[in-house]
Amino acid sequence: MSDPGDTARGPWAALREELVQAGFRPSRRLGQNFLLDENLLRAIVRDAGVEPGARVLEVGPGLGFLTRHLLTAGARVTAVEIDPRLAERTETVFANTPGFDLVRGDVLASKHTFAPAVLARIAPPEPWHLVANLPYAVSGPVLAIAASLPHPPSTMTVLVQLELAQRIVASAGGDDWGPLSIRLQVAYAARIVRRVPPELFWPRPQVDSALVRLDVRADPLPPVERVRLSALVERLFQRRRQRLARVLGEIAGRGTAGREWAVQAGLTGDERAEDLPLETLRRLAGLGPGLPAP
């Protein structure tokens, strides 16, 4: 087992030792890397701006370290835990804690939606927030699904791999700019709040992590337009370095229509998808044939 180092000394050292003695091993398949640094856990709650009474969804509470700080801040926490070993322990630890609710199982019903039990907890009209040290294996899908919900979170403050964080906040023209960047930024303003080194986790991951904060935009794209944009982006970025007119022509079903489509959007057709900013992609999606009808 990887050595969690000095960060494990303190209030969680005895628990870690107890788990080790009991034969517990973090699951690589489930992307389990537990954040052990108390100062950073408190900082995440501050960065999330959690206020007393706020409804918070925490995906992958693990050993309950962040959960405890969220509850101390007065949040009402719905924690979703897929690992039955950890779900049992978490339910026992927080059984008598006001504001705590546990959903046992996978947060995802499929790659396109959350599990029904999760959707029931975040149903409108009450606003909600996603605050989590997201398991690496599901970080991208969880964020994309949350952003596309009819009742999305007001904010998302999540700890993810640095590589994913860079994709979330990317700008047009860079290698990180792609479907995830666009699907999140069309609805949220995103920024990296802080970088987190591997030694603050147990076990230590082989990469740096980052805390990302996403705040819902005042004028998010309407759902029907978002569906069209998503469909266009999916097709364009499969061939991100090809000339725009050619790819658009294939989407439209007629070669010459691609350049016409591009010209209508104020382009030449010689551009490449990877260089197009969000506003240009939105304009293309609004004009294009061969996309889902509004």
Number of H helices, E strands in the chain: 12, 11
236 against 3, higher pLDDT: 236
Distance CA 207, CA 198 (A): 6
pLDDT over 70 at 2, yes or no: no
Tell me the H-state helices in the chain.
13-21, 38-48, 65-72, 84-93, 116-121, 139-148, 162-168, 179-185, 223-237, 244-252, 255-264, 278-287
pTM, rounded to two decimals: 0.91
Under the banding of pLDDT at 50, 70 and 90, the label for residue 234 is: very high
Domains located in the chain, CATH noted: 5-216 (3.40.50.150), 223-287 (1.10.8)
Tell me: pLDDT of 10 over 70: no
Instruction: Report residue 7's pLDDT band, with 50, 70 and 90 as the boundaries.
Output: very low
Residues 185-226: pLDDT tens digits?
999 999 999 999 999 998 899 999 999 999 999 988 888 899
Can you say how many angstroms the Cα of residue 293 is from the centroid of all Cα atoms in its chain?
A: 28
Tens digits of residue pLDDT in 221-232: 888 899 899 999
